[in-house]
Structure 1
Amino acid sequence: MTWLGYEFTATEYGRFAKDCETLAETLTEQGIENPFPGRPKKWLVSDVDMALFARLSGWKK
């Protein structure tokens, strides 16, 4: 079983976290502000994870 192309293993979770870190760094470097209330303008790994979960779950603004 996979989620977003990642297997459900500790190694793959590490790869997913690293990819989220890369996305967070890229969003921040591109000047895209973090839209989550109460968060700093810079993106955190957890914010990318949360945004992916929300989007894939069909959550709307």
Structure 2
Amino acid sequence: MKRVYIPLWLALKQAREAYGYPKDYGICACYDVENMGWCKDEVTRWYHFISVDGMPAYTLKR
């Protein structure tokens, strides 16, 4: 199944609403990140995770 793009702010919002996490939790605290790495620009990071809906997803963090 192809991963869907979820903006970082939306992924964090969904996890906080679904699981009651505090606002200072980041992507790695809110989700079980399966894989992560650097984009070719060497500034942006990508994260693979399973969304609140159970769909494979990815997000980018600058």
User: What TM-score do you get using the length of structure 2 for normalisation?
Assistant: 0.29
Q: Which structure has the highest helix share of the two?
A: 1
| Higher Cα radius of gyration | 1
Q: Which structure has the highest strand share of the two?
A: 2
User: What TM-score do you get using the length of structure 1 for normalisation?
Assistant: 0.29
Larger relative contact order (CA 8 Å, sep ≥ 6) = 2
